[in-house]
Structure 1
Amino acid sequence: MKLQTIVPLEKATKPIDYQSRLLLMGSCFVENMGNKLDYFKFQQLQNPFGILFHPLAIENLVQRALEEWCYKETEVFEQDGIWCCFDAHSEVRANSQRALLQRLNQQLHETRLGLRNASHIVITLGTAWVYRHKTTHKMVANCHKVPQKEFSKELLPIDAIIASLENMVNRIAEVNPEAQLIFTISPVRHLKDGFVENQQSKAHLIAAVHKVVKGHNVSYFPAYEIMMDELRDYRFYGKDMVHPNELAVDYIWEKLKSVWIDEDCYSIMDEVDGIQKGLLHRPFNPDSEAHQKFETSLRSKITYLQERYPFMKF
């Protein structure tokens, strides 16, 4: 895809390689890039509490994980027969209170290990709009289809976002000073908030992130700007006209790869890609001699890769 490059990109000073351990937290963009990293078999932990849209939700996860502040019975609730937690996405749910608490606390433990051991931590912000639960006065990560009347909606001020991000940066630096933090703004527009309100939200996030980037040793990847300025055509959007489609995701991934993935990894990524495509191959005649040779060759390639990188699972 030949497009004019508009958004400037800075080469990473600490690129990602196959020895890197990544922790990705935040909005939908995390899943897009995380799925690419997973496809190429990089070591990563992606959104332990599911998609988290606003900075306070991510900050809460970081703080609770590092303080080992486990969840208790009073912090989960039943909604339509399913147990949920306001701190996590709706995909983090269970059929019983006990099962949900076990899952939440296990994910907290995984997050703590990720924060302490990650070489790269990617934090993607989606919105500055938040919902406050009127009964508990707590900002929630997800409303879980609880009636809207039980919440008040607020736009986080820029200063509040800066304070939240700086707290995250400082807490992570205390336990993992070598970790490279990478902030991004999700290119997914939250049009349910309104067109003007979405722009307000993104503006607050962008202003806050750049303030933090200038004041700390952290990086910024311009996913939002690439989508808005280089891919400013609806052919790069999905059917909902909101989410980037596969073409756009591939384009942004190539940009990310060009600045954040060590070039020495490219040949290994090609090997992994060949294996992944081979695994998807559906033969016309599975019993043929040609296919048996293909299967043997594919297994040999997998074994060869796993001898060098035991963490790769196919």
Structure 2
Amino acid sequence: MDFRTPVIIPESTFRIDHSTKMMLLGSCFSENISARLQEYKFLVKTNPFGIVYNPFSVAAVVKRLLSNKGFDETDLVFHDNVYQSFLHHGLFSHPDKNRCLGNISRSFDEAAGFILKTDVFLITFGTAYVYKLKSTGEVVANCHKFPSSAFVRERLTIEEIVKEWSSVINAISAHHPAAKFIFTVSPIRHWKDGAHENQISKSILHLAIDRLQKMYAPTLSYFPAYEILLDELRDYRFFAEDMMHPSSVAIEYIWERFGETFFTRETIRANSEWDQINRSLDHRPLNNQTENYRHFLKQTLQKLILFRQNHPQIDCSREIEELTEKTDK
């Protein structure tokens, strides 16, 4: 007897390997997948403006990067004794204006150079609700605890999202015709919207992505992270303590399903090999001065060198350098 309802994922029309350049944008679910991709040495750039939740703010990030229009003092606001940007997550806020702008500019410059070479975009929408600044009509990515009276709260329509993202996809494709897109809906509930309104919001996101998928097939794929967590796993043991975010076990399972869907067989094998090496790198002995531990380090270094020879597209030079220093002591 099967006590689960597994989500059937159609075979992807394209594959990802360690030479694929990926940019992940959107809600904190993007961060979860990005952490795994980085752990396994993929070429990844994630949320250069910080976590963003609504489709219009994610689109604004892409458009700003493609225009290569950087940020200056006029893009900053001062509130609660810190400088910040309405297009950025609070991660970039700082009491010192130059530090704030410097952090924003460094991240922007790196991402603006990367986006033109990006092969696969993974976009995660979190909510269809947006907050518009009354003074400008601008959709903000983060309200930064400004008073609610400064904003107008609206719910995007399917048509608005499709129109906005059609222009974004077309703009990306003009720079990189071979670029591919993976869209997901974050399985994390926006409970502050209310249970019913959260469902409406997620439904709008699903329908907008479905329409985009039909318009841009086979360039655009949908990955059912939302369905895997809420329909296949469907149990509070797969949620973190806040009962909203997925647990580490759930994230690991969704990561496995992601790999099965998009990775080549060679990529999966390389990941498995790296996983074993990485466990050795993370090993912390009770006593690091023993001969046995020195032998263990040399064996790990040999495995690393062989791994690099077998997978030259994967950069593990930093790990080899660090381990070489340890074995030479």
TM-score for the superposition, normalised by structure 2: 0.91
Corresponding residue for 1:31? 31
**Identity of paired residues, percent?**
35
Q: Deviations over 1:216-236 (max 9, x none)?
A: 131111111111110111111
Corresponding residue for 1:292? 294
Q: Which runs of 4+ in 1 moved over 6 A?
A: none
SS of the counterpart of 2:288? coil
Corresponding residue for 1:311? 315
Distance in 2 (CA, whole Å) between partners of 1:197 and 1:223 is 20
Question: How many pairs align?
Answer: 313
SS of the counterpart of 2:122? strand
Corresponding residue for 1:248? 250
Corresponding residue for 1:72? 72
Q: Report matched runs for 1:200-219 at 5 Å.
A: 200-216=200-216, 217-219=219-221
Would you say the 8 A contact 2:24–2:30 is kept in 1? Answer: yes
Matched, 1:129 2:133: no
Would you say the 8 A contact 1:62–1:111 is kept in 2? Answer: no
- Give the deviation of 1:276 after TM superposition: 1.7
SS of the counterpart of 1:29? helix
SS of the counterpart of 1:91? helix
Structure 1 stretch 129-138 or stretch 101-110: which is displaced more? 101-110
Distance in 2 (CA, whole Å) between partners of 1:144 and 1:302 is 45
Would you say the 8 A contact 2:41–2:314 is kept in 1? Answer: no
Q: Deviations over 1:215-257 (max 9, x none)?
A: 0131111111111110111111110000000111111111101
Distance in 1 (CA, whole Å) between partners of 2:315 and 2:188 is 32
- Give the deviation of 1:3 after TM superposition: 6.3
Structure 1 stretch 3-12 or stretch 277-286: which is displaced more? 3-12
- Give the deviation of 1:309 after TM superposition: 3.7
Q: Deviations over 1:171-210 (max 9, x none)?
A: 1101111111111111111001111111111011001010
- Give the deviation of 1:159 after TM superposition: 0.9
Distance in 2 (CA, whole Å) between partners of 1:280 and 1:63 is 39
SS of the counterpart of 1:87? coil
Would you say the 8 A contact 1:223–1:252 is kept in 2? Answer: yes
Matched, 1:94 2:94: yes
Distance in 1 (CA, whole Å) between partners of 2:287 and 2:72 is 55
SS of the counterpart of 1:183? strand
Corresponding residue for 1:116? 116
Distance in 2 (CA, whole Å) between partners of 1:211 and 1:10 is 17
SS of the counterpart of 2:94? coil
SS of the counterpart of 1:269? helix
Corresponding residue for 2:324? none
- Give the deviation of 1:15 after TM superposition: 0.8
SS of the counterpart of 2:116? helix
Distance in 2 (CA, whole Å) between partners of 1:267 and 1:222 is 24
Unpaired segments of 5 or more residues in structure 1? Answer: none
Would you say the 8 A contact 1:185–1:224 is kept in 2? Answer: yes
Corresponding residue for 2:278? 276
Structure 1 stretch 229-238 or stretch 63-72: which is displaced more? 63-72
Would you say the 8 A contact 1:18–1:42 is kept in 2? Answer: yes
* One-letter identity of the residue aligned with 1:32: N
* One-letter identity of the residue aligned with 1:55: P
- Give the deviation of 1:113 after TM superposition: 2.3
Unpaired segments of 5 or more residues in structure 2? Answer: 320-329
Corresponding residue for 1:8? 8
SS of the counterpart of 1:284? coil
Distance in 1 (CA, whole Å) between partners of 2:248 and 2:237 is 10
Corresponding residue for 2:53? 53
Would you say the 8 A contact 1:59–1:167 is kept in 2? Answer: no
Structure 1 stretch 215-224 or stretch 95-104: which is displaced more? 95-104
- Give the deviation of 1:7 after TM superposition: 1.8
Structure 1 stretch 192-201 or stretch 282-291: which is displaced more? 282-291
- Give the deviation of 1:305 after TM superposition: 3.2
Would you say the 8 A contact 1:72–1:101 is kept in 2? Answer: yes
SS of the counterpart of 1:95? coil
Distance in 1 (CA, whole Å) between partners of 2:240 and 2:300 is 34
Corresponding residue for 2:22? 22
* CA shift in 2, pair 1:256/1:310, >3 Å: closer
SS of the counterpart of 1:117? coil
Matched, 1:187 2:191: no
Q: Report matched runs for 1:98-177 at 5 Å.
A: 98-177=98-177
Distance in 2 (CA, whole Å) between partners of 1:97 and 1:185 is 35
Would you say the 8 A contact 1:40–1:273 is kept in 2? Answer: yes
